[in-house]
């Protein structure tokens, strides 16, 4: 795995919406970014009592086994810190490719878009 280069790797922005974190992935996620993102999310959950994480992947064209594993790991880590993760905005072509690769992301809850993901989190969270 590549470690982040000393000159600050590009970061994935993590927004707070009330007690939910919103992460929008765009394009490709490199090794260092994935690790950084996982650290960001977990520290934010612990620091600010976040109860849900929405990962928006509508800007992602390809989900390979690496990204699939990163997403599953983020969800597992969040769950251990008592937050639920919803994966939002998966494109149909991405879903088909994932299933063809045998990556069905069993531990992840999905929603069609960010709105529905937030709705899902607010419904079950109460």
Interface positions with a copy of itself (CB under 8 A): 38-39, 42-43, 45-46, 49, 73, 76-77, 79-82, 90-92, 94-96, 98-100, 104-105, 107, 110-112, 116
Closer residue to a copy of itself (CB): 7 or 92: 92
Q: How far is the CB of 91 from a copy of itself (least distance, A)?
A: 7
Between 3 and 7, name the residue whose CB sits nearer to a copy of itself: 3
Q: Which helix (H) or strand (E) holds 52?
A: strand 52-59
- Residues 6 or more apart whose CB falls under 8 angstroms from that of 125 comprise 51, 52, 84
Name the residue among 53, 35, 32, 56 with its Cα closest to residue 44: 53
Instruction: Please say which residue, 7 or 51, places its beta carbon nearer to a copy of itself.
Output: 51
- Dig out the tokens for 89 from the structure: 């905005």
């Amino acid at each position: 795995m590549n470690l982040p280069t000393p000159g600050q790797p590009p970061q994935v922005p993590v927004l707070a919406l009330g007690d939910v974190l919103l992460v929008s992935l765009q394009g490709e996620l490199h090794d260092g970014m994935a690790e950084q993102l996982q650290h960001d999310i977990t520290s934010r959950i612990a620091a600010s009592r976040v109860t849900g994480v929405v990962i928006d992947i509508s800007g992602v064209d390809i989900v390979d086994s690496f990204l699939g594993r990163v997403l599953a790991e983020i969800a597992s880590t969040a769950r251990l810190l008592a937050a639920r993760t919803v994966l939002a905005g998966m494109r149909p072509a991405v879903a088909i490719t994932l299933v063809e690769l045998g990556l069905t992301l069993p531990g992840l809850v999905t929603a069609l878009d960010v709105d529905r993901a937030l709705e899902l989190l607010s419904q079950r969270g109460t």
